[in-house]
């Protein structure tokens, strides 16, 4: 009797662990399928002329250079706007804030901002920046709208990075007579820098792939933007329009692969920085 129970217990354990293994395998397989599919179908498209020339004709033959330019432009600009604000906000939350109503309001707002659907953020950008402030469809309007999307992401990763800095390092600094700001700027932030950088890079990857926000704030005009007030079409928007209209599927595959490669590159860079840092510290 008892041995049968033990057998049951063992069998259940084996079955359950197999199911857990299968869940993990399915997750990895999902990623693998997507990557392999996009890679196999897109790799033939990626040539220098695809990357560096302009599209032409009704079917958008040729390259996608202006969309790459627009993507990099809007991502860079939004990171420039967001990063300083987000890092300083995280410094406040991690180093200065006293638990209370104000801080809990700030946290609730940051959480809400993080969960706003990107399509809502797009319409917000349209109403606030494009029309409300008269920026028209422009890189600047898109960068501002994206900033609200990125802000909570960078705040969270930076706050975690700052909190991970050991306390005794701060005590050492205070012990030498340093002020709060001196401690934060010279001791805490430099120690937290690799992890902050990781978070910022991941956020940039997120900004790059964002479609719903930029389509309402930058428009869909193929145009290599130069001034921040120029409109433009980013790679994700280009991919969506080509796929939906079905006009140039090879171009769509190529754009998808390039987009995935960019995001992958950002992720791997972030991981590399994180890992190098871990090795240096221990």
Q: Which parts of 230-249 interact with another protein (CB under 8 A)?
A: 236, 239-240, 243-244, 249
Q: Which is nearer to another protein, 166 or 227 (CB)?
A: 166
Q: Which is nearer to another protein, 53 or 269 (CB)?
A: 269
Distance CA 193, CA 69 (A): 28
Contact with another protein (CB under 8 A): which of 69, 267, 269, 277?
267
Phi, psi of 213 (to 5 degrees): -70, -50
- Cα 184 to Cα 195: distance, rounded to the nearest angstrom: 15
Please, which residues bridge with residue 56 across strands? 61
Binding residue (CB under 8 A) for another protein from 55, 63, 66, 152: 152
Q: How far is the CB of 120 from another protein (least distance, A)?
A: 5
C-beta of 139 vs 252, nearer to another protein: 252
**Element at 61 (helix H, strand E):** strand 61-62
Q: According to the binding rule CB under 8 A, does residue 261 interact with another protein? A: no
How many chain residues bind another protein (CB under 8 A)?
Answer: 95
Residue 55, class by beta-carbon neighbours within 10 Å (0-12 exposed, 13-18 middle, 19+ buried)? Answer: buried
Q: Record the tokens describing residue 198, joined without a space.
A: 């990781």
**Site residues (CB under 8 A) for another protein, limited to 36-65:** 37-38, 41
Contact between 273 and another protein per CB under 8 A: no
Q: Does 269 bind another protein (CB under 8 A)?
A: no
Q: Which of 56, 271, 276, 278 binds another protein (CB under 8 A)?
A: 271
Q: Interaction with another protein in 159-218: which residues (CB under 8 A)? A: 163, 167, 170-171, 174-175, 179-181, 202, 205-206, 208-212, 215-216
- The two structure tokens encoding residue 148: 């609200």
Distance of CA 187 to the CA centre of its chain: 27
Cβ neighbours of residue 12 under 8 Å, at least 6 residues apart? none
The percent helix, strand, coil of the chain (3-state, each to 5) is: 80, 0, 20
In the list 51, 72, 263, 273, the residue contacting another protein (rule: CB under 8 A) is 263
């Amino acid at each position: 009797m008892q041995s049968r129970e033990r057998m049951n217990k063992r069998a259940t354990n084996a079955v359950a662990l197999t199911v857990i293994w299968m869940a993990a395998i399915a997750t990895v397989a999902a990623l693998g399928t997507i990557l392999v599919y996009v890679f196999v179908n897109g790799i033939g498209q990626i040539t220098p002329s695809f990357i560096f020339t302009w599209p032409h004709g009704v079917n958008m033959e040729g390259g996608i250079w202006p969309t790459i330019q627009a993507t990099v432009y809007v991502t860079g600009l939004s990171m420039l706007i967001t990063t300083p604000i987000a890092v300083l906000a995280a410094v406040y939350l991690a180093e200065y804030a006293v638990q209370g109503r104000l801080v809990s309001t700030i946290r609730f707002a940051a959480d809400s901002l993080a969960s706003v659907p990107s399509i809502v953020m797009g319409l917000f950008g349209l109403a606030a920046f494009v029309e409300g402030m008269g920026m028209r469809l422009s890189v600047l309007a898109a960068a501002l709208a994206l900033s609200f999307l990125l802000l909570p992401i960078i705040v969270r990763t930076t706050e975690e990075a700052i909190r991970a800095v050991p306390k005794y390092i701060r005590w050492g600094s205070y012990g030498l007579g340093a002020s709060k700001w001196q401690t934060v700027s010279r001791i805490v932030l430099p120690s937290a820098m690799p992890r902050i950088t990781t978070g910022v890079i991941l956020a940039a990857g997120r900004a790059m792939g964002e479609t719903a926000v930029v389509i309402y704030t930058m428009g869909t005009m193929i145009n290599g933007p130069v001034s921040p007030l120029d409109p433009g079409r980013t790679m994700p928007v280009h991919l969506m329009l080509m796929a939906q209209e079905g006009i140039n599927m090879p171009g769509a595959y190529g754009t998808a692969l390039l987009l995935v490669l960019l995001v992958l590159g950002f992720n791997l860079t972030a991981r590399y920085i994180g890992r190098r840092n871990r090795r240096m510290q221990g």
